[in-house]
């Protein structure tokens, strides 16, 4: 029997039982739809997180106290020697770290900001004037504070976009308005552009003020030598290819400054922007595969459904099979016909499932705005191939059983 003829007969047989065929395909439709939707959403999350880290700045290195593997500072058994503003100045010295084009420092803590009876708890970042350039973070209103503001310990503050909306709910112009930070009056000089979520939480619910002002007037965090403490030092490297070399240069400089002896473990961490992207990318990539694997279980269930229905079909069409064999049909002809029916069920279900999964992914993207699910061609192709393979695999036994029927017994079957 020619394959084209077998396909025609198979389609006619499936069309004769439309409802049963649709219900049989349902498992494949749900399985393929779930695989496409979950993998697309997983990849979208991976891209979103990668873009967030890429938005932190250009070719950044992060220097933090303690070893990251020891956990957050609040959970460490032994106190960690803090970083200082002097460390930032040393890293910014091109004679010691030639590839560091710009550096900035940041002391982070919680603070309460008040205006007109409205109180907001925010992340307070006491920074150096170079901070917005190193972090590629611009203002939407006003301007960042200057070196002169830092030298004079001016009580000036910039608001994150969410902080601005909470303190100025009616959209008032905030520049030169007075707000209270931990009970002290500060003059608003700018509003930062929205960054959304990021390492450490919501970056937009924050305020920014000069490091000198924050440490002298508000937080009063200095080491025994009277140096300003900082939470993180950022170093922007001139070229991406120079990042590994710059890491070595900064590590050697910090070991000397902090008195770390040879073979002793460093009491600081240097993390590159690429390291953060790679770590989170690996985690989210594995999560995407895991979600896809969980969804693929539906394909297995759908395949079992196809086998069940095909076995029923063989029983119902026993006389038809016997008649065909009696007029000259070979075992291979019957085998091919039933295999094509099983594969057709799976393939059509797969196409519908791809459409369903794509629609779900688009709906999620529309609902969440900035987040965009990524529907990959590879996911679509793999889902369709796997769905068809499932139909073939689970259709083999019913097709084989049909091809082995004795024509005399089949013709006498009632």
pLDDT score recorded for residue 165: 93
Percent of the chain with pLDDT over 90: 25
Region label for 377, one of left (φ > 0), alpha (ψ between -120 and 50) or beta (otherwise): alpha
Alpha helices (runs of H) in 214-272, residue ranges in sequence order: 243-258
- What DSSP designation does 99 have? T
Highest-confidence segment of 60-74, 160-174, 192-206, 251-265: 160-174
pTM of structure: 0.64
Which of 54-58, 92-96, 186-190, 302-306 bottoms out in mean pLDDT, i.e. has the lowest? 54-58
pLDDT at residue 233 tops 90: yes
Q: Is 236 helix (H, G, I), strand (E, B) or coil?
A: strand
pLDDT at residue 69 tops 70: no
CB atoms within 10 A of CB 76: 13
CB 100 within 8 A of CB 250: yes
Percent of the chain with pLDDT over 70: 86
CB 99 within 8 A of CB 246: yes
Q: Which residue has the higher pLDDT, 215 or 13?
A: 215
pLDDT score recorded for residue 160: 93
What are 319-337's pLDDT values in tens digits? 776 777 777 777 777 777 7
Which of 90-94, 231-235, 279-283 bottoms out in mean pLDDT, i.e. has the lowest? 279-283
Enumerate the β-bridge partners of residue 278: none
pLDDT score recorded for residue 70: 53
* Interacting residues of 340 by C-beta distance below 8 A, sequence separation 6+: 3, 6, 7, 10
Instruction: Place 110 in a pLDDT band, splitting at 50, 70 and 90.
Output: very high
DSSP letters spanning 183-227: TEEEEEEEEEPP--EETTEETTSEEEEEHHHIIIIIS--B-TTSP
Determine the Cα–Cα distance for residues 123 and 38; give it in Å rounded to an integer: 34
Determine the Cα–Cα distance for residues 270 and 251; give it in Å rounded to an integer: 7
pLDDT at residue 58 tops 50: yes
Determine the Cα–Cα distance for residues 138 and 195; give it in Å rounded to an integer: 10
């Amino acid at each position: 029997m020619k394959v084209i003829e077998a396909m025609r007969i198979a389609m006619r047989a499936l069309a004769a039982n439309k409802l049963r065929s649709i219900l049989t395909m349902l498992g494949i439709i749900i399985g393929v739809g779930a695989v496409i939707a979950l993998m697309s959403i997983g990849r979208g999350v991976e891209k979103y997180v990668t873009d967030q880290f890429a938005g932190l700045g250009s070719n950044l290195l992060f220097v933090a106290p303690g070893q990251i593997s020891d956990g957050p500072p609040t959970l460490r058994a032994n106190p960690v020697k803090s970083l200082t503003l002097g460390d930032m100045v040393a890293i910014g010295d091109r004679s010691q770290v030639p590839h560091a084009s710009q550096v900035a420092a940041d002391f982070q803590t919680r603070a309460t900001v008040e205006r007109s009876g409205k109180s907001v708890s925010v992340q307070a970042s006491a920074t150096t004037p170079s901070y917005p350039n190193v972090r590629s973070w611009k203002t939407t209103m006003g301007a960042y504070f200057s070196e002169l503001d830092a030298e004079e310990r001016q009580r000036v503050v910039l608001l994150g976009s969410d902080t601005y909306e909470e303190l100025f709910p009616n959209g008032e112009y905030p520049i030169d308005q007075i707000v209270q930070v931990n009970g002290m009056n500060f003059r608003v000089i700018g509003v930062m552009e929205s960054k959304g979520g990021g390492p450490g939480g919501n970056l937009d619910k924050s305020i920014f003020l000069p490091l000198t002002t924050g440490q002298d007037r508000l937080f009063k965090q200095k080491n025994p030598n009277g140096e300003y403490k900082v939470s993180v030092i950022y170093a922007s490297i001139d070229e991406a290819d120079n990042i590994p070399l710059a890491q070595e240069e900064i590590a050697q400089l910090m070991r000397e400054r902090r008195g770390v002896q040879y073979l002793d473990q460093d009491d600081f961490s240097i993390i590159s922007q690429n390291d953060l992207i790679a770590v989170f990318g690996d985690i989210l990539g594995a999560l995407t595969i895991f979600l896809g694997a969980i969804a693929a279980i539906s394909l297995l269930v759908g395949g079992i459904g196809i086998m069940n229905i095909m076995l029923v079909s063989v029983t119902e069409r026993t006389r038809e099979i016997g008649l065909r064999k009696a007029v000259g049909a070979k075992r291979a002809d019957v085998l091919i016909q039933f295999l094509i029916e099983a594969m057709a069920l799976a393939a059509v279900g797969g196409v519908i499932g791809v459409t369903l999964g794509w629609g779900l992914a688009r709906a999620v993207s529309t609902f969440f705005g900035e987040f965009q699910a990524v529907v990959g061609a590879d996911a679509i192709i793999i889902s369709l191939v796997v769905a068809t393979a499932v139909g073939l695999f689970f259709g083999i036994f019913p097709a084989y059983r049909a091809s082995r029927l004795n024509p005399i017994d089949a013709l006498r079957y009632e």
